[in-house]
Structure 1
Amino acid sequence: MAKGVRKIVLSGVAVAALVGGGFGGWHWWTEGRFIESTDNAYVHSDITVVSPKVSAYVREVRVAENQQVAAGDVLAVLDDQDFTAKVAEAEANVAGQKAALGTIASKLELQRALIDQAAASVASAEAEQRRAQQDFDRTRALANESWASKQKFETADADLRKAVAATNKARAALDAEKDQVGVLNASRVETEARLRQAEAALQTARNDLANTVIRAPVDGVVGNRGVQVGQYARPGVQLLSLVPLPDVYVVANFKETQLSRMRPGQAVTVEIDAYPGKRLEGKVESFAPASGSQFSLLPPENATGNFTKIVQRVPVRIALPHDNALAGLLRPGLSVTAEVDTRGSGDAPHVAGSVFGAVRPGQAVASK
């Protein structure tokens, strides 16, 4: 009896093992062999580091750690006394250059009147020269007939010479007055250039004054806030960071041997270690242009005598839907397990510019 029961139990175990093995083999053949997974994956986000554009002491800090802010909200205010003074100085410089332009315009108006006056003097001198010429001609004719004295002839000749000289002088004065217009126009061009320079300096001063109010460039949550009232802020020094939650994605570092059938657009199942049992559906978005080791501080140099082959990993960006079940709960840095379903990829080549770079807008994704 015991042998019969034992035989039945062993038979049942054998049947269960065969059924389990067959089911496992069927599952692997139909699905498992197409799944590429890794636990070397993390939640990421495009974190914005906020730094000042000008150097000044911090007067106010208007946000707290972990506070939600919108683009344009004031984060901090720097002391603006020096920048206000520079704006006033630049405004005065602009006003001075505009006044100089006004003065030149007035001089040009005056110069036109002086030119008209000089032209009138030329006309008067020419008329006097014509009169002197006529007197000279009459006196010379009379002197030739001995009807006029030599003294009178010499006087007429001197008057003619004086009239010619006066005409030449008047014409030279007219030319000088006309040339002065060119000088004034050149001075106006130079002053206009200085005015534009002063206006540019004024705009720069106003920009610096506006930059004393530090605003949020994007919507996000304040993090890593290191700014305090009284701190001396300098350009390039981080004040705080803005994390644009819930806009997050996953970067999974797959082995190079897992990439042969992986394509952009393939479905990905994502499980976050912080929320076990919650599985999210995403899609492969793009592949890094090089392996992670190439972007390290000291890239490997394999052209040495001591070479050991190491399987490289390539970062793969995985997009998550905005309305996923954990929207608003995911934080950059959380650990992830990612599984990519590579079914349907076939032997199609990688899409140019996507597997080793982001998919371009409007670009087709190779699939079957």
Structure 2
Amino acid sequence: MTSPTAEELGADENASAAEAKPSPLKRKGVRLVILGVVIVALVLGASWFANYWMVGRYVQGTEDAYVQADAVVVAPKVAGYVEQVFVADNQAVSAGDPLFSIDPRDYRSQVAQAQAQIDMANASAKGLQAQIAEQHAAVDGAIAQLASAESDLRFAKTIRDRYEALAASGAESRETFAEKRSQFERAEAAVAARKANLASAQRRVATLEAQVGQAKAQAEGGVAQRAAADVDLGSTVVRASIAGRIGNKTVQPGQFVQPGTRAMSIVPVQQLYITANFKETQLGLMRVGQPVSIEVDALEGVELKGKVESIAPGTGAQFSLLPPENATGNFTKIVQRVPVRIAVEAGPETRALLVPGMSVHVSVDTRSAKGSIEKIAKEQKALEQAKK
């Protein structure tokens, strides 16, 4: 028999040493560490599951959310050359602050023209009123002349009647009676003429009074024109309708502007809100007033608070310029998104850092509506049973 080699002897020694070395799992400390890790993992897993079951599954979040503001577009009401610009880009303004002015000379002349028309109409009315006073005197004179003519008529009638009786008895000649009768007829004609003069004088008064009314109407029209001209003159100074910051300013001194042309925008930075576009599958438990957690990309590590202010009455696609028409061609179902308006609860310092268009991540806690889906289902079942 051959004796074992050195290599074989070394391998046998190593095998014996390996068999003699105990397994690490048999060590008590290792087993305790592994047991601790398993327990911690189970506790963390149970904690996560409990948190998810109690809170997490009711939290709806989206990255499709942006800071918004109801900006006001500033446009002039009247046309003209810009005389002066009082604000600069990004400047903060208050409601009523002047933004820019337009050359007011044309509009001042319109105000003066309207005032001249008013003065002319008032002067015409005063002149007509003086004529009416004169005409009243003429009416009084016509009345007096008529009274005198009627008195002459009565006297002429008395004389005619007397001479008619005398002529019939033969005491007076027929020629004398004819003369007296002619005098009576002339008196009658004079009375008719005086009555016509009185009626003409009275109609003249009515005509003058109508002309006074026309002059007053012209004066009122001038007042209306002056009021419109005053409005246009006041519109030559364009003022801020709300408080905010100036943005997108395009107006410059010397520029000719037209009514309705965009000159700048005012962004109400103190009235910012967030528009979050949630999937339709996330809205089942979402209600107005629910709390919201807000993470702004520009403010890393800062969590803002807010609440659901309102939910849009339709999906974003329905309010687009060309809404989809799913009744034509092949149909592929696409999950729609519904805009949700979220009010931001933040102080002035935080709001000063927020500007419209910033991206945010929002998470809505919908636990307040927990169980509403089940209530809806029960209600539908009750309706179905009532129909049966």
TM-score between the two structures when normalised by the length of structure 1: 0.90
Question: Of 336, 341, 348, which residue of structure 2 is paired with 1:317?
Answer: 341
Question: Is 2:204 aligned against 1:177?
Answer: no
Where do residues 145-160 of structure 1 align in structure 2 (5 Å cutoff)? 145-160=169-184
Tell me how far 1:325 sits from its aligned partner.
6.4
Structure 2 residue aligned with 1:105: 129
Distance 1:125 1:347 in 2: 107
SS of 1:320 mapped into structure 2: strand
Tell me how far 1:139 sits from its aligned partner.
1.5
Tell me how far 1:146 sits from its aligned partner.
2.0
Tell me how far 1:321 sits from its aligned partner.
2.6
Question: Is 2:301 aligned against 1:277?
Answer: yes
Structure 1 residue aligned with 2:216: 192
Question: Is 2:269 aligned against 1:209?
Answer: no
Structure 2 residue aligned with 1:20: 44
Tell me how far 1:122 sits from its aligned partner.
0.9
Structure 1 residue aligned with 2:185: 161
Structure 2 residue aligned with 1:75: 99
Tell me how far 1:267 sits from its aligned partner.
0.6
Structure 2 residue aligned with 1:124: 148
Tell me how far 1:242 sits from its aligned partner.
0.7
Structure 1 residue aligned with 2:265: 241
Of the structure 1 ranges 104-113 and 288-297, higher mean CA displacement relative to structure 2 is found in 104-113
Tell me how far 1:176 sits from its aligned partner.
1.7
Contact persistence 1:129–1:160 (CA under 8 A):
yes
Question: Is 2:113 aligned against 1:89?
Answer: yes
Question: Is 2:291 aligned against 1:298?
Answer: no
Tell me how far 1:21 sits from its aligned partner.
1.7
SS of 1:153 mapped into structure 2: helix
Question: Is 2:260 aligned against 1:260?
Answer: no
The residue identity in structure 2 corresponding to 1:4 is: K
Question: Is 2:4 aligned against 1:4?
Answer: no
Distance 1:51 1:325 in 2: 30
Contact persistence 1:119–1:174 (CA under 8 A):
yes
SS of 2:351 mapped into structure 1: coil
Question: Is 2:91 aligned against 1:64?
Answer: no
Tell me how far 1:111 sits from its aligned partner.
2.0
Structure 2 residue aligned with 1:46: 70
Distance 1:206 1:53 in 2: 13
Higher helix share: 2
Tell me how far 1:201 sits from its aligned partner.
0.9
Distance 1:298 1:237 in 2: 26
Contact persistence 2:58–2:366 (CA under 8 A):
yes
Tell me how far 1:193 sits from its aligned partner.
2.3
- Deviation track 1:190-232 (CA, whole Å, cap 9, x = no partner) reads 3222222221111111111110111111111111110001111
Structure 2 residue aligned with 1:250: 274
Contact persistence 1:50–1:242 (CA under 8 A):
yes
Distance 2:81 2:258 in 1: 9
TM-score between the two structures when normalised by the length of structure 2: 0.86
Distance 2:267 2:36 in 1: 58
Contact persistence 2:307–2:342 (CA under 8 A):
yes
The residue identity in structure 2 corresponding to 1:240 is: M
Q: How many residues align?
A: 349
Contact persistence 1:143–1:150 (CA under 8 A):
yes
Change in CA separation of 1:324 and 1:103 when aligned onto 2, cut-off 3 Å: closer
Distance 2:191 2:371 in 1: 100
Structure 2 residues without counterparts, runs of 5 or longer = 1-22, 374-388
Tell me how far 1:7 sits from its aligned partner.
5.5
- Deviation track 1:142-180 (CA, whole Å, cap 9, x = no partner) reads 212222222221111111000001101111111122222
Contact persistence 2:292–2:362 (CA under 8 A):
yes
Change in CA separation of 1:234 and 1:175 when aligned onto 2, cut-off 3 Å: same
SS of 2:271 mapped into structure 1: coil
The residue identity in structure 1 corresponding to 2:182 is: A
The percentage of counterpart residues that share the same residue type is: 43
- Deviation track 1:255-282 (CA, whole Å, cap 9, x = no partner) reads 1111111111111111111001111111
The residue identity in structure 1 corresponding to 2:327 is: A
Contact persistence 1:280–1:325 (CA under 8 A):
no
Change in CA separation of 1:90 and 1:340 when aligned onto 2, cut-off 3 Å: same
Change in CA separation of 1:28 and 1:347 when aligned onto 2, cut-off 3 Å: closer
Structure 1 residue aligned with 2:377: none
Tell me how far 1:235 sits from its aligned partner.
1.1
Where do residues 350-361 of structure 1 align in structure 2 (5 Å cutoff)? none
Tell me how far 1:113 sits from its aligned partner.
1.3
Distance 1:237 1:110 in 2: 58
Contact persistence 1:246–1:329 (CA under 8 A):
no
CA RMSD of aligned residues (A): 1.7
